[in-house]
């Protein structure tokens, strides 16, 4: 009788091991298929956002269809590092979000709003539209409108200048032309 119990336990352990091993393999394969590295450079003719670290400072960049690389957001602040979001991690996450929004045609205007009680930089479908998709969260006490004006690297030289689509106190920066 003890041998029958030991054989039964062995079979159950083998089945459990097989299930765990199979689930692990499926999970790893899923991660490989789903995740697109936000740091991989696109090929010529392909437009795309990604996180570049070539200058030593993480930067969200956009390659336009002509192959020109345009800097968008420089990630120099370590403010969120204590929460596990160092500049490189934020760069990768935000670059992936922007790329998803671009592909889904949800990246028309960049504005500011509030999500979960925190000031954020986000997307909107139209001027005076609601804050729809999170781009990134601002630190507590950070002026959202000043942050928006200073956000985009390609707007350098335009700091503190109103966007062309400012029809209220909240600016809406049209990025559709920049993506074409």
One digit per residue, pLDDT tens: the chain, 180 residues? Answer: 555 555 555 454 444 343 433 333 333 333 322 334 444 555 666 889 999 999 999 999 999 888 888 889 999 888 899 889 999 999 999 999 999 999 999 999 999 999 999 999 999 999 999 999 999 999 999 999 888 888 876 655 544 444 444 445 888 988 887 787
pLDDT on residue 179: 82
Cβ-based neighbour number of residue 140 at 10 Å: 8
On whether the CB atoms of residues 119 and 105 are closer than 8 A, the answer is no
Enumerate residues 6+ apart whose C-beta is below 8 A from 97.
Answer: 133, 134, 135, 136
Q: Dihedral, CA atoms, 159, 147, 109, 57, nearest 10 degrees?
A: 90
pTM of the model: 0.70
Q: Does residue 138 contact residue 156 with C-beta atoms inside 8 Å?
A: no
Three-state secondary structure call for residue 10: helix
Give me the pLDDT at residue 170, please.
Answer: 87
In the block, which residue shows the tokens 């929460």? Answer: 83
The residues, ordered by sequence, that sit 6+ positions from 180 with a Cβ below 8 Å of its Cβ are 64, 65
CA distance 38 to 51: 5
Entry field: residues in the chain: 180
Please give the Cα distance from 49 to 89 (Å, whole number). Answer: 15
Residue 87's CB: how many other CB atoms inside 10 A?
20
């Amino acid at each position: 009788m003890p041998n029958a119990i030991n054989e039964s336990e062995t079979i159950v352990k083998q089945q459990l091991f097989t299930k765990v091993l199979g689930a692990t393999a499926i999970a790893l394969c899923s991660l490989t298929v789903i995740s697109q590295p936000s740091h991989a450079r696109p090929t010529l003719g392909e437009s795309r956002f990604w996180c570049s670290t070539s200058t030593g400072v993480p930067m969200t960049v956009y390659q336009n269809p002509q192959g020109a690389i345009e800097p968008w957001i420089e990630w120099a602040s370590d403010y969120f590092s204590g929460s596990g979001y160092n500049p490189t991690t934020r760069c990768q996450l935000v670059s992936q979000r922007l790329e998803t929004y671009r592909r889904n045609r949800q990246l028309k205007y960049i504005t500011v709003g509030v999500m979960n009680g925190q000031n954020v930089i986000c997307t909107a479908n139209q001027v005076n539209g609601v804050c729809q998709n999170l781009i990134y969260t601002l630190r507590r006490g950070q002026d959202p409108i000043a942050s928006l004006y200073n956000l985009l690297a390609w707007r350098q030289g335009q700091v503190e200048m109103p966007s062309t689509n400012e029809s209220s106190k909240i600016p809406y920066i049209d990025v559709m032309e920049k993506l074409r």
